[in-house]
Structure 1
Amino acid sequence: MVAQARAFSPHLLVTVDNGISSVEGVEAAHEAGMRVVITDHHLPGATLPPADAIVNPNVPGCDFPWKCTAGVGVMFYVLSVLRRVLVERGWSQAGQVKLADWLDLVAVGTVADLVPLKYNNRILVSAGLARMRAGRLRPGLRALLKVAGRDVASLSSQDLAFAVAPRLNAAGRLENMAQGVECLLAPDAASARAHAESLDALNRQRREIEQDMRDQAEAAVRNLHLNGRGLPSGVCLFDESWHEGVIGIVASRIKERVHRPVVVLAPGENGLVKGSGRSVSGFHLRDALDEVATRHPGLLTKFGGHAMAAGLTLPRENLETFSQAFAAVARDKLGDVPPGLVVESDGELRAEDMSLANAVALEEAGPWGQGFPEPLFDGWFELLAHRRVGQNHLKMTLLHEGHDQPQDAILFNFDQWEALHRVRRVHLAYQLDVNRYQGRMRLQLLVRHWLAHE
């Protein structure tokens, strides 16, 4: 980053959502004559970088109450204070800057960063969604929502998480994040549409790569079962053919399957391996990596992240040692057999409560997200009919036990097709969802977990 910035001869380098671990990077910037301001929210290491200023709610001694603020939120607050200070010092032009106009980006960045959606994060996302639903969003976001088939007027945090964020991230995962930035900065609808269509194509390519990697990763997990050793408490998976831009998504999918911490790694540059991890409740992933580094000095080149997600880099020759060390730390904290998946439900719904009106009411009570989950219900259903839609989505017609009206339902990323023909009854954990199509609204159940009975 410093080498790239040097070409512009800047006096000041400001980071956003990174830098808290960049001790050497800040030193290099100082040597190049730059002052450095770090804005970040990631957990700091033992040594803070020698920046001229650090704004991070998680550094020791910071009394800012909302520690889970996303990186984009940190920068939004920095700009808010900067505007106030400039106005106080007589720069009247600063008072004309309307930071509320950027709340659409703050909302997208907060949701995409997977931070807990509570306290100030919830306020920022709510404000951003309200502006977007009213049509006050930049052309790039409008174009991304259009190619994803989402309605701006009924926009939710789930649309940001599953329609906007994956398309923006696809550029950085497969090519260059600049494409996503250019889309967000597009000045008009025509240029925004071109960028959005390009990002949509990249996202389709990303899905294909992800599916191939996921199939290989699941085969590797099955092999661990078959070789008699069983799954370790912390799982590490690596393949020479894997794409480093998709390892985080694959780690998340495999974690959902095995219900234990997972690190997926792929070849990087200069003999290094890059990894991305996803964790389970009760296992702080960034702290676990710190424990690995403490037990094995020099094993990791660098690492960072949060409780539930983290990234790391290490030399290729250290891969096997890291895999064993990570499994050992996980075993110490979780035991030999980590607890399986526990689904917490808000209970069963009565027939009269399973309604479109309640689905709309829950939608309007959002935004829902990390740390502030939408209500989840459960119940037994008879499976009347099913079909495949899209690549791997299961569309179902169900009859709730005790009800007399069939109900539509959908389960995304279904992976049990072989056994489906034998299933007659299912125990589902689901959310009430509003299915909007051709101007009509219908109730459907959005299935999150299922347990089949033949």
Structure 2
Amino acid sequence: MSHKIVRRPQVDDSHLPTSLPPFLKQLYARRGVTETDCELVLTKLLRPETMKGLSEAAVLIADAMAAEKSILIVGDFDADGATSTSVCMLALKMMGAHKVDYLIPNRFDYGYGLSPEIVAVAYSKSADVLITVDNGISSIEGVAAAKLLGMQVVVTDHHLPGQSLPNADVIVNPNQPACEFASKSIAGVGVAFYLMSALRAELRQRDWYKQHHINEPNLGTLLDIVALGTVADVVSLDANNRILVNAGLKRVRSGRCRVGITALLEVAKRSPEKMVAADFGFAVGPRLNAAGRLDEMALGVETLLCDDMMRARRMAAELDGLNQERRELETGMQQEALKSLQQLSLNEDDLPWGIAIFQEDWHQGVIGILASRIKDRYHRPVIAFAYAGEGEIKGSARSIKGLHMRDLLERINSLHPGMITKFGGHAMAAGLSLKADTFEQFKHAYDNAVRDILEYEQLTGELLSDGELPTELISLDTALTLRNAGPWGQSFEEPLFDGVFRVVQQRIVGEKHLKLLLETPCGTLMLDGIAFNIDLAIWPDATIQQARIVYKLDVNEFRGNQTVQLMVDYIEPL
């Protein structure tokens, strides 16, 4: 699909430190960085007292520990859920909690969140206190069931609440009404980390550590897990999230990270010393997520909790195998989806504005990634459904800029009451369930709702570029500066540049990656470039001698040598 290249405008950067290179000052200013955001130090984290419910939750958990009550962490089956669960398990044990365990619903048997069915499992484990992590804000029935059975419930979540809140003892969620915590885009693992920090302070006030002859724990040792969950959940990297991710990356680079993360980096062939945020997103996160998608997320949690390197390596290898299986499943499903879309329409202009796709044999665990891939290909909001049994289908939705997916589902729900049996999520991603026999009806309602909100121009993929990089700045020094200037990620995008280059050489490497030798227009510089997953119907083509290229600057390492390389995001023959 063709993209529109939009260059970011020049902005005033005089408020930023003069110690920064001029090009970096401009890149930061365009991304809304203030002078105080430049220093990513833990002392600048948002204060915990502004997070509604945090101190009450800390008191409840401290009382439970003092009374030796049984505490059960109920997590979600994705990377954010696994990391949130791990942070709570490790922190509680470091603080001397003896009766603490976790439970992650299997997505195929129980579905998402604290359902009444998962509450029954928790009750059978004799849990006194339930702490939900990365879920619970929409679990109204589950919380009611737990209260009925005499359990205390602390909900910690970051998802957007519905019209009513669960009747939990305490709710900690920056997106709940009247919460003044400024980082609304914090991940579930960030909320869990804040809760554990508040609990540590509450126990300190009670003289708990002295009484129990334990050292007050350094929760900074958990920041590598916090960083992993934050990046893997693709939340916006606002200043607070960047501080958390940066601190976690520092632990990894200095060789002080958990053995489970080290083992996952090993199987992904990533070097801890050169770790960047994208490695959490593209190398570690998917392998962790594969457990929850295809099997039991407990395997992912155990990998993060593990402190024995040999065992961690065995589990990382198992996760790597699951991820490979997930990729193969996803590739097959993607081909089927594209084929059915091509049959639907020969002309891209005739495609639905909101794409809804369903096939009975698709795997529930992979529909989210499938929706994401189709969305990237057609630049339209996509919902992919899989059969969930008992006449119900489950959908995973991915949106595009300008369309708030959870609000859209709420709109459809109010226009067609009862069509959607349940839904929840964020602006860019959401989940829902329907009765299978209403799929066709839903498909039309969804397409119409998207047409009511979007303008046609919004269906054209936009690439936000930082403009043309002067030839003297296309260098290893610039690439290294940019690597260390992050962490880059969602809503704090890694700089993209664009320019016209002469194509000197082109060849396919792997199955569908295009290796390029490029020359700057003035002929002063030859550069290596690589474009992943290109359209084999267009490339390679010896008649193409010039192209407009949108790229990131990357450091290529080969046999100990570092060179600058262009990572091509988009290539347009001229």
What TM-score, normalized by structure 2, do the two folds share?
A: 0.77
Give the stretch that moved more between structures: 28-37 or 159-168. Answer: 28-37
1:38 to 155, 169, 172: 155
Matched, 1:223 2:340: no
Alignment RMSD (CA, Å): 1.6
Q: Counterpart in 1 of 2:364?
A: 244
Give structure 2 stretches of 5+ with no counterpart. 1-117
Q: Which amino acid aligns with 2:151?
A: M
Q: Counterpart in 1 of 2:271?
A: 151
- 1:274-323 CA-to-partner distances (Å, cap 9, x unmatched) read 11111111100110011111111111111111111111111111111111
2:256 to 119, 136, 139: 136
Give matches, 1:303-322, under 5 Å: 303-322=423-442
Give matches, 1:228-307, under 5 Å: 230-307=350-427
| Cα deviation, residue 2, structure 1 | 1.1
Q: Counterpart in 2 of 1:430?
A: 551
Q: Counterpart in 2 of 1:374?
A: 494
Cα distance in 2 for residues equivalent to 1:227 and 1:433: 36
Asked if 2 retains the 8 angstrom alpha-carbon contact of 1:87 and 1:95, the reply is no
Asked if 2 retains the 8 angstrom alpha-carbon contact of 1:104 and 1:129, the reply is yes
Cα distance in 2 for residues equivalent to 1:138 and 1:438: 27
Q: Counterpart in 1 of 2:313?
A: 193
Cα 1:67–1:347, aligned 2, differ >3 Å: closer, same or farther? same
Cα distance in 2 for residues equivalent to 1:148 and 1:279: 28
Cα distance in 2 for residues equivalent to 1:432 and 1:297: 50
Give the stretch that moved more between structures: 265-274 or 70-79. Answer: 265-274
Give matches, 1:8-407, under 5 Å: 8-92=125-209, 96-226=216-346, 230-335=350-455, 338-407=458-527
Matched, 1:439 2:439: no
Cα distance in 2 for residues equivalent to 1:381 and 1:124: 38
Asked if 2 retains the 8 angstrom alpha-carbon contact of 1:233 and 1:337, the reply is no
| Cα deviation, residue 338, structure 1 | 4.0
| Cα deviation, residue 228, structure 1 | 10
Cα 1:419–1:151, aligned 2, differ >3 Å: closer, same or farther? closer
SS of 1:226's partner is coil
- 1:65-89 CA-to-partner distances (Å, cap 9, x unmatched) read 1111110000100110111011112
Asked if 2 retains the 8 angstrom alpha-carbon contact of 1:39 and 1:74, the reply is yes
| Cα deviation, residue 406, structure 1 | 2.2
Cα distance in 1 for residues equivalent to 2:137 and 2:273: 38
| Identical-residue share of aligned pairs (%) | 50
Cα distance in 2 for residues equivalent to 1:58 and 1:152: 34
Asked if 2 retains the 8 angstrom alpha-carbon contact of 1:351 and 1:403, the reply is no
Cα 1:67–1:228, aligned 2, differ >3 Å: closer, same or farther? closer
| Cα deviation, residue 387, structure 1 | 2.8
SS of 2:450's partner is helix
Q: Which amino acid aligns with 1:9?
A: S
| Cα deviation, residue 418, structure 1 | 4.9
Give the stretch that moved more between structures: 279-288 or 374-383. Answer: 374-383
| Cα deviation, residue 229, structure 1 | 8.6
Cα distance in 2 for residues equivalent to 1:357 and 1:98: 36
| Cα deviation, residue 332, structure 1 | 0.3
Asked if 2 retains the 8 angstrom alpha-carbon contact of 1:233 and 1:338, the reply is no
Q: Which amino acid aligns with 2:224?
A: D
What TM-score, normalized by structure 1, do the two folds share?
A: 0.96
Cα distance in 2 for residues equivalent to 1:175 and 1:414: 31
| Cα deviation, residue 171, structure 1 | 1.1
Cα distance in 2 for residues equivalent to 1:289 and 1:344: 28
Cα distance in 1 for residues equivalent to 2:156 and 2:566: 41
Asked if 2 retains the 8 angstrom alpha-carbon contact of 1:359 and 1:433, the reply is yes
Cα distance in 2 for residues equivalent to 1:220 and 1:285: 24
SS of 1:343's partner is strand
Asked if 1 retains the 8 angstrom alpha-carbon contact of 2:260 and 2:312, the reply is yes
Greater relative contact order (Cα < 8 A, sep 6+): 2
SS of 1:245's partner is helix
SS of 1:246's partner is helix
Give the stretch that moved more between structures: 90-99 or 407-416. Answer: 90-99
- 1:7-63 CA-to-partner distances (Å, cap 9, x unmatched) read 211110000000100101111111222111100000000011111110000011111
Q: Which amino acid aligns with 2:562?
A: M
Cα 1:227–1:413, aligned 2, differ >3 Å: closer, same or farther? closer
- 1:210-267 CA-to-partner distances (Å, cap 9, x unmatched) read 1111111112222232389911211111112211111111111111111111111111
Matched, 1:449 2:570: yes
Q: Which amino acid aligns with 1:128?
A: G
Q: Which amino acid aligns with 2:147?
A: H
- 1:137-164 CA-to-partner distances (Å, cap 9, x unmatched) read 1111001101111111111001111100
Q: Which amino acid aligns with 1:343?
A: L
Give the stretch that moved more between structures: 243-252 or 65-74. Answer: 243-252
Cα distance in 2 for residues equivalent to 1:150 and 1:229: 41
| Cα deviation, residue 416, structure 1 | 3.5
Q: Which amino acid aligns with 1:36?
A: V
SS of 2:265's partner is helix
SS of 1:43's partner is coil
Q: Counterpart in 1 of 2:111?
A: none
SS of 1:366's partner is coil
- 1:361-381 CA-to-partner distances (Å, cap 9, x unmatched) read 000101000010111100112
Cα 1:300–1:399, aligned 2, differ >3 Å: closer, same or farther? same
SS of 2:364's partner is coil
SS of 1:344's partner is strand
Q: Which amino acid aligns with 1:55?
A: V
Cα 1:258–1:236, aligned 2, differ >3 Å: closer, same or farther? same
Q: Which amino acid aligns with 1:41?
A: H
Q: Which amino acid aligns with 1:65?
A: A
Cα distance in 2 for residues equivalent to 1:337 and 1:344: 15
Q: Which amino acid aligns with 1:28?
A: A
Matched, 1:3 2:120: yes
Cα distance in 1 for residues equivalent to 2:533 and 2:176: 39
- 1:95-121 CA-to-partner distances (Å, cap 9, x unmatched) read 611111100100000000100011210
Cα distance in 2 for residues equivalent to 1:321 and 1:363: 48
Cα 1:352–1:227, aligned 2, differ >3 Å: closer, same or farther? closer
SS of 2:459's partner is coil
Q: Which amino acid aligns with 1:58?
A: N
